[in-house]
Structure 1
Amino acid sequence: MPLATPPELDDEPGRARSLARHYPRGLRIDAHSHTWAQVLYAVSGVMWVEVEREALVVPPQRAVWLPPGAQHAIHMLSDVEMRNLYLHERDSRHLSASCEVFEINGLLRELITSLAERTREDDDAWLAAAWRLATIELAHAPRSTLRIPLPDASDRRLATLCRAVIDNPSAEMSFEHHAAAVGASVRTLARLFTRELGMGFAEWRRQVQLAVAVSRLAEGQPVSAVARMLGYLPSSFSDMFRRELGMPPSEFRPAGTLGFTREAQAAS
């Protein structure tokens, strides 16, 4: 399937672009970049985005800001309704020069979806005002800290182990089992985790588990089912989720309802 090529990304500033498209579960878009900055957003569905040696799980409560030239790859964890915005470099200099994940509020959601679904035949004054407001909201949107560091390709053993955990993050598979599968000692891999990823195996896998859990909860899956999929008892999973994110998983809203419940926001 062809890449998600944005429409008519020429060198003309002041004429922002947008894209509305459906992608099926399981589709992978290989690493690529754009000459324009991009707001990568799914109004429904969950994406796994890899960018700048980080993995980001992106449910409808979040979007990704990609500055011009940022290499990124996307894996659709569910059916995805994509709504992307594209800004010329000269129109996005007031925004971050680094990739960021930001939280989507109701206003920003409506701005992104409306801009992505309108055509150039729509009212120019409205479009210009909506684009200006969208860039203001993007600059002030809260940033997310749930980001998973990824290794480079310099050590095949570490890269293979990390990919295996991403594909199967269950706590039932031990570090020793993973080490044996890639043909390295636990001591060697522990040293590589600390040096390359800045944390130990258990902490790194927990970040993967939290990201996967958020994506499953965003789809409306029951907490108990998500806990079992990750190799936890429901009570242990809830304790871990609350300890790491400051709120119980039961307070996370499914996709389409935007964010956490009022009780969870108060808890955080």
Structure 2
Amino acid sequence: MIHSEFTSRTKRCDVRAASYSSRSSGYRPQELIRGREFMGSASTPHWSAQLAAANLELLQHIGPADAMCITWINPGHIAIEDAVTLLGADSNSGQSVTYQQGADLYWEDYDLQDEGGGVVICGPSEGCLVMVEPNGWRGSIPETIQALSIGERDVVNVFSNVNRGIRLHWSCNGRIITAIGVDPWENHGDMPHALDHLLSDLPIREPASADSEVALQEPSDGMILESLPVPAYLEVAFRIVGHRLSLAWLESRIHEYYIIP
């Protein structure tokens, strides 16, 4: 089993927990941005066909790209068992697997799927704990995101479903700071537009045109991703946490696998 703590290599919230706790009358959401080292426009690759294709390839390996849920916890110094329990997983069901082995276990468990259950596959990445739910949704529940973020942690979640619902939440220390999604979704949270400076070049609202330079071909599974900005939402998450997930992270390391009954 992977041990419970990982060293953080990215910026923590720049404010004490008590100053913006949901129980604190002195909560000031604007302080959450102070001193934060987001990837700004100067250091962030501009959105391009190459980035869109790379993100799409990663999503297809996570699979299916139209029904997935990815959660980053930063810093990742939380026991994996505690984190997955907040998602509703059975903390005693853990086993060490590659990502593909874990995904295969889920897709081969028809009883679990019929009963509405799921799985979470998780591991450390650049100081974060990353939790992936193929065909899942538990990590997108706002109350779960808030609970995971308590203790001066940032939590970022990207979720998409087969009904073309796509959204991203960013929470810190028990508060939803910003949530964005496809139309007709509107930004909300304590600072609804706190991430606007990261979004100007990304097609997160309108479907990408078939004539666009970043338009994507229809994958073999029949999902029309050129009309869905899922890869762009993945890019938003990468910019918030300050690093990218890679195919090597998915394929070459051992992860922890838990069942969500």
- Normalization by structure 1: what TM-score? 0.25
- Normalization by structure 2: what TM-score? 0.25
Q: Which has the larger radius of gyration?
A: 1
